[in-house]
Homo-oligomer: A and B are copies of this chain.
Amino acid sequence: MTFNTFGHSFRFTTWGESHGPAIGAVVDGCPPGLLLCETDVQPWLDKRRPGTSRFTTQRQEPDQVRILSGVYEGRTTGTPIHLMIDNVDQRSKDYGDIAQAYRPGHADYAYDAKYSLRDPRGGGRSSARETASRVAAGAVARLVIPEVSIRAYLVELGGDAIDRAAFDDAEIDRNPFFCPDPAAAARWETLLDAARKSGSSLGAIVECCASGVPAGWGSPVYAKLDSQLAAAMMSINAVKGVEIGDGFGVARLRGEENADAMRPGNDGRPVFGSNHAGGTAGGISTGQPVVIRIALKPTSSILTPVDTITSAGDATAIVTKGRHDPCVGIRAAPVAEAMMALVLADARLMHRGQTGF
């Protein structure tokens, strides 16, 4: 996970800025012979695409992906797959102010402190636009683990949680919030409209669940599946917390409450009585669904003025105009799915390399 590359055996490297001509991902180490064309990738990008509802940024990006290498006659060849997406709707004029003053909650000050310069147009490399590249790479990763189903959805928005009893998988794609609870989705519409109109923004919690992961993926110690997933999820813009299974809730359980009891299953594999662990033990998958939750902060770009300093060090206040998501957590759902797929594809190839299975 050095700089702009993620993964070991299945790896990808992304490049590009918010307001440059294009962005892209180079996927390396992909198994050969997989059927792959642009239409395998595009639907995932469409889920993440901005401008699809009033609850996401109004920047209009078609996010059309092109596969420029690594595929011959519709099959992966085992060589690097370059996925490129043109930037179409850059309006750099919107970002004149932020070249001079640091937006609180954004990377502006930290970039200047590190590099002594930065590309201020739309946040440059720190923009969540980079996550489109991940979604494209994730589409390839899914092909490597066809036995796995991955689904991410919001379980909380602006502090308002879903009702787990009302969880309906089919509902997730029916509302603009990837929300599995129709009643919550209705409430969130009101909540987010109000926040948006008042120039504010809201946080969210996204859950991502991968089912069909066989027991044995991942590794002990520093390459624990948990550790790789935490790194992957915490690398998504605006994420400040990651938990697996019961997560922070385990800290309040007693040993006997937390134990995921096992009994013999019909197929020789164990049946677990619960999944507090979220599908891993000792860093290795157990065959249960891998369940992870991430906390996303409210969008830092808001119309409420906030005190800050200029790059010259003077006091000022800033209002961040431009086109922004009032809740970045929404579009983080397809990104979380992609990162889950990318970690699992890598884990699968690593496992197969070491053990032959």
Q: Mark A12-56, 1 if CB is under 8 A from B, else 0.
A: 011111001111101011111100000000000000000000000
Taken together as a complex, chains A and B put the C-alpha atoms of A113 and B243 apart, in Å, by 24
- Is A255 in contact with chain B by the CB < 8 A criterion? yes
Q: Which 8 A-B pairs give the minimum distances between C-beta atoms?
A: A107-B282, A353-B353, A241-B243, A113-B215, A201-B255, A110-B284, A32-B115, A231-B231
- Known contacts A2-B8, A220-B79, A226-B234; is A297 also within 8 Å of B258 by CB? yes
The answer to whether A80 and B4 have CB atoms under 8 Å apart is: yes
Q: Select the stretch in A145-153, A172-180, A181-189, A272-280 that faces chain B.
A: A272-280
A137 to chain B, nearest CB (A): 11
A24: which B residues are within 8 A, CB to CB?
A: 68, 82
Q: Mark A131-156, 1 if CB is under 8 A from B, else 0.
A: 00000000000000000000000001
A interface SS class: mixed
- Is A209 in contact with chain B by the CB < 8 A criterion? no
Q: Select the stretch in A57-65, A162-170, A301-309 that faces chain B.
A: A301-309
Q: How many copies are assembled?
A: 4
A189 to chain B, nearest CB (A): 17
The answer to whether B240 and A234 have CB atoms under 8 Å apart is: no
A218: which B residues are within 8 A, CB to CB?
A: 110, 114
15 inter-chain pairs at a CB distance below 8 angstroms, sorted by A residue, are: A1-B231, A2-B29, A3-B219, A4-B223, A13-B26, A22-B69, A78-B114, A109-B281, A109-B286, A110-B283, A201-B254, A203-B250, A221-B235, A224-B235, A241-B244
